[in-house]
């Protein structure tokens, strides 16, 4: 049976199409500039939200530190919390280094007379020439030549504009470890201490020279570190051994925050340089003196104080007699010959 089109569509719902010209709808695509501005606002909100979350995490870590004691695993957890809390804060820029001209001006009057012709530091070419000369040398160098060579290398290790610190470090170890007698090392140490009165500069040169051995360069490094510590503690400048520094550290708590930070670094250098970490008596005396005095009201959790507490706690974990002599580490060559690296307790 044939059905018409109208009969075939009887059961379907009717569709009313409004074609009025007065009703219109359209979608306008935002411009690229508008999309970029919107995305920038979203990113800024995400950044601010992450900052708030990080601040909340920092507050939780500081709260944990306040309620923890210094014994056993709780002390180690507090130490870890303090390290983490400090690591998220903006770090201070590295300590400024002296210029080559200032260093050479301080060293030149102490050098042999024939060095007076060098009115300025000879720079990287002299460092490379010394490296080549040391490669083919044998035996101890004459004192005058050794002092001049060591002065050139010391400026290369310290000056902020130096670009040859690695080569100077290798040459200094070759010179002082293989071509210097113990008497020559002592004379050189006295010359460097006279020319470099700043405790921080002495620490920088000490770090550049130490390698964990017991030869000439490490002897100079230990003497510089000991002298810098005694200078900060306002103690007599000699002797510079661990025992004398340990006795002088009784005045450590009276130093300002910057001096305390340097003292913690220097104490670590001296403990690491002493065979076996030094005698147990001197070691324990030094660690006992490194206890911070009670904090003033509201100052218990200042960054400088927390940083000093972290440094001291690390030294006690490494060198305290209760941890056994096997815990004393062999120090590695410090990368302060490269700019920017900081050590325990750097302030």
pTM above threshold 0.85: no
Are 202 and 347 in a shared domain?
yes
The Cα–Cα gap between 119 and 107 comes to 11
Residue 347 pLDDT > 50, yes or no?
Answer: no
Are 191 and 211 in a shared domain?
no
**Average pLDDT rounded to a whole number, residues 178-200:** 93
Are 189 and 203 in a shared domain?
no
* More reliable by pLDDT, 125 or 290: 125
- Does 143 fall in a domain? yes
Structure confidence at residue 177 (pLDDT): 92
**pLDDT single digits (tens) 289-310:** 777 666 655 555 567 677 777 8
Are 111 and 172 in a shared domain?
yes
Average pLDDT of the chain, as a whole number: 74
**Average pLDDT rounded to a whole number, residues 105-123:** 88
* More reliable by pLDDT, 300 or 147: 147
- Does 29 fall in a domain? no
- Does 206 fall in a domain? yes
Question: Domains in the chain: how many in total?
Answer: 3
* More reliable by pLDDT, 173 or 90: 173
Residue 334 pLDDT > 90, yes or no?
Answer: no
Are 192 and 228 in a shared domain?
no
The model's confidence at residue 267, banded by pLDDT at 50, 70 and 90, is confident
Are 173 and 185 in a shared domain?
yes
**Average pLDDT rounded to a whole number, residues 321-338:** 43
**Average pLDDT rounded to a whole number, residues 169-176:** 93
- Does 20 fall in a domain? no
Structural domain that includes position 66: 52-90
Lowest mean pLDDT among 84-88, 215-219, 326-330: 326-330
Of 196, 226, 242, the one marking the end of a domain is 196
Are 181 and 153 in a shared domain?
yes
Structure confidence at residue 257 (pLDDT): 72
Q: Which of 86-100, 203-217, 275-289 is the most confident on average?
A: 203-217
Is 81 within 8 Å of 70 (Cβ atoms)? no
Structure confidence at residue 120 (pLDDT): 85
Are 205 and 281 in a shared domain?
yes
Structure confidence at residue 91 (pLDDT): 47
């Amino acid at each position: 049976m044939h059905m018409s089109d109208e009969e075939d569509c009887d059961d379907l719902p009717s569709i009313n199409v409004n074609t009025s010209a007065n009703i219109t709808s359209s979608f306008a695509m935002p411009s690229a500039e508008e999309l970029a501005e919107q995305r920038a606002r979203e990113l800024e909100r995400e950044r601010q939200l992450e900052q708030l979350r990080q601040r909340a995490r920092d507050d939780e870590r500081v709260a944990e530190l306040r309620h923890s004691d210094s014994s056993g695993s709780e002390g180690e957890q507090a130490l870890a919390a303090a390290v983490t809390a400090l690591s998220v804060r903006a770090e201070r820029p590295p300590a400024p280094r002296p210029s080559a001209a200032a260093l050479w001006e301080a060293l030149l009057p102490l050098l042999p007379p024939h060095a007076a012709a060098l009115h300025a530091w000879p720079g990287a070419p002299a460092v490379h020439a010394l490296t080549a000369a040391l490669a083919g040398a044998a035996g101890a160098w004459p004192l005058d030549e050794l002092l001049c060579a060591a002065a050139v290398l010391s400026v290369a290790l310290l000056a902020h504009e130096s670009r040859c610190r690695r080569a100077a470090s290798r040459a200094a170890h070759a010179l002082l470890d293989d071509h210097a007698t113990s008497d020559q090392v002592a004379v050189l140490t006295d010359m460097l201490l006279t020319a470099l009165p700043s405790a921080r500069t002495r620490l920088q040169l000490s770090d550049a020279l130490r390698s964990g051995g017991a030869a000439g360069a490490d002897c100079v490094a230990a003497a510089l570190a000991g002298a810098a510590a005694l200078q900060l503690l306002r103690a007599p400048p000699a002797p510079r051994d661990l025992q004398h520094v340990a006795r002088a550290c009784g005045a450590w708590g009276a130093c300002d925050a910057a001096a305390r930070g340097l003292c913690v670094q220097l104490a670590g250098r001296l403990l690491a340089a002493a065979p076996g970490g030094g005698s147990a008596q001197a070691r324990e005396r030094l660690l006992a003196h490194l206890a911070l005095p009670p904090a003033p009201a509201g100052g218990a959790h200042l960054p400088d104080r927390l940083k000093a507490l972290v440094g001291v706690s690390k030294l006690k974990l490494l060198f305290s007699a209760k941890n056994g002599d096997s815990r004393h580490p062999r120090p590695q060559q410090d990368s302060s010959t490269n700019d920017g690296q900081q050590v325990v307790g750097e302030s």
